[in-house]
Amino acid sequence: MSDEIIKVKDFIENKECKKALDLAKKMHRKDRINDYLEILDLLIAEKYLPAFEEKGQYYLYFDENHDNEDYGEKYFNQYLEIQPHSINLMCSKAMALSYKDLNKSIKLMDKALKSYDNFSEDEKPRITEEDIWMGKIELLVKKNDKKETLAELNNFEKEYPDNPKMILYKGILLSETGEDEDALKYLETSLKRDNTILALNAKGNALYNLRRYSEALEVYDKCISHEKEVDDLDIITNFNSKAAFSAIELENYNEAIKYLNKTINMLNEHGRLKDDLEKIYRQCSFEKERLLKQYNIQDRKFSRFKFLSSKTALIVLILFIIGYFILTYLGY
């Protein structure tokens, strides 16, 4: 038994459970997970509510297999059995459920939202009503029900018109539902506040849908310049492939081949693809073969390196020679 466990037992005996929980968190920060969990179990045995939440949060966010994919729900349930009107724990349980049953997760988040004005005096919410509502919207986004999400965003906007997430999500959803002109207004506002890859990608899509291919390609190029900052294969595939298709629409086939090759090679590296990405892969491969046969162009690789034109190269060479003679004359 470690010294910390002995100390925790003394804390519990003296009804100083908060000190014991603080020590557990310290063990977590030091990556002493066994001691951390043992302390939490001692506190849970004493029905100390914050320990239930702490252990649930650990399995929700930190544990590699999330307690066999329970995501802390068991501990959130035990907490709610004792304090059923806890807004905080309803939200935590909703997040755990979001990995298993989105409909139940959304329903519980909605319950937390509707219960907000009647929360228990024993435990005030740590999260604002605005954030709970946005949490519900983000679950709807994850569910991919565009109609329901857009309706919820419209209601949210009436109460919180300046919420940055609302502006971003509404811009994306408007574009995905064919309202691209309106989408651009929201996306431009979002980009002025925070130049995110999500907003940039969605702006490119809206411009592409409006057949403003030159502007779309410019936006997709900006996305590509930040590609290393993105870990979402769907988004990366979108702006690379759409850059290729924009170049094709602009009849810039040499550039199109580069974008197509980049997309094809990138997807090849990921092995087996889900259906929508496989469809894009086949479309890019088809377009590449069509362009090579129809327009007799070179099979080029994508590169950010640009060769200087002959005229520019000659000017640089002349300036170099002049500089050389000046330095020689000065004795360098």
Taking residues 174-186, report their average pLDDT.
Answer: 97
Give the gyration radius of the chain's Cα atoms: 28
Structure confidence at residue 301 (pLDDT): 67
CA 299 to chain centre: 34
CB proximity list for 323: less than 8 A, separation 6 or greater: none
Residue appearing with tokens 């509510």? 49
Give the single-character DSSP code of 30. T
CB proximity list for 308: less than 8 A, separation 6 or greater: 316
| Domain boundaries of the chain, sorted by first residue | 227-332
| Separation in Å, CA 174 to CA 56, 140, 212, 304, 327 | 37, 15, 17, 32, 61
Whether the full predicted model's pTM is greater than 0.85, yes or no, is no
> Could you report how far apart the first and last alpha carbons of the chain are, in Å?
75
Q: Which segment of 240-249, 269-278, 300-309 scores lowest on mean pLDDT? A: 300-309
Mean pLDDT score of the chain: 91
CB proximity list for 250: less than 8 A, separation 6 or greater: 213, 214, 217
Taking residues 58-66, report their average pLDDT.
Answer: 96
Give the single-character DSSP code of 308. P
Give pLDDT tens digits for 99-115: 999 999 999 999 999 99
Whether residue 293 has pLDDT greater than 70: yes
Give pLDDT tens digits for 196-251: 999 999 999 999 999 999 999 999 999 999 999 999 999 999 999 999 999 999 99
Structure confidence at residue 234 (pLDDT): 96
- Distance between CA atoms of residues 63 and 69, nearest Å: 10
| Number of residues that make up the chain | 332
Q: What DSSP line would sit under 162-184, residue for residue?
A: T-HHHHHHHHHHHHHTT-HHHHH
Whether residue 327 has pLDDT greater than 70: no
- Residues 98 and 61: beta-carbon distance below 8 Å: no
Angle at the Cα of 45 from the Cα atoms of 39 and 48, rounded to 5 degrees: 80
Q: Give me 301's structure tokens.
A: 């690789």
